[in-house]
Amino acid sequence: MAKRRSSGLAPRLAWALTGSGHFFTECLEFMSKLESFDLFVSRAAAEVVRMYKSEMKSLPDGVRIFKDTTASAAPVGLFYEGVYHTLVVAPATSNTVAKCVAGISDTLATNVFAQAGKCRIPSIVFACDTAPELETMAPGGMVRVFPRRIDLENVERLKSFEYTQVVESMAALRTSVTRRLACLVTPSS
Ligand X SMILES: Cc1cc2nc3c(=O)[nH]c(=O)nc-3n(C[C@H](O)[C@H](O)[C@H](O)COP(=O)(O)O)c2cc1C
**Partners of residue 84 on adjacent β-strands:** 12
Residues 51-70 that bind ligand X (CB under 6 A): 51
Q: Is residue 86 involved in binding ligand X (CB under 6 A)?
A: no
Q: Is residue 128 involved in binding ligand X (CB under 6 A)?
A: yes
**Distance, CA of 181 to CA of 91 (rounded, Å):** 19
CB of residue 25 to ligand X, shortest distance in Å: 11
The region of 69-77, 91-99, 115-123, 164-172 touching ligand X under the rule CB under 6 A is: 91-99
Q: Is residue 44 involved in binding ligand X (CB under 6 A)?
A: yes
Figure out which of the listed residues 12, 13, 14, 19 binds ligand X, where binding follows CB under 6 A: 19
Q: What is the dihedral of CA 173, 174, 176, 179, to 10 degrees?
A: 170
- Name the residue among 121, 162, 86, 119 with its Cα closest to residue 3: 119
CB 97 within 8 A of CB 152: no
Please identify the residue of the shown chain whose CB is closest to the bound ligand X: 19
Q: Is residue 107 involved in binding ligand X (CB under 6 A)?
A: yes
Residue 141, phi-psi category: left (phi > 0), alpha (psi -120 to 50), beta (remainder): left
Smaller CB distance to ligand X: residue 108 or 177? Answer: 108
Q: Is residue 39 involved in binding ligand X (CB under 6 A)?
A: no
Which residues lie closer than 8 Å to 55 by C-beta, 6 or more apart?
A: 28, 49
Figure out which of the listed residues 12, 76, 96, 154 binds ligand X, where binding follows CB under 6 A: 96
Q: Is residue 165 involved in binding ligand X (CB under 6 A)?
A: no
Phi, psi of 19 (to 5 degrees): -85, 45
Binding site for ligand X (CB under 6 A): 18-22, 42, 44-45, 48, 51, 93-96, 107, 109, 128, 136, 138-139
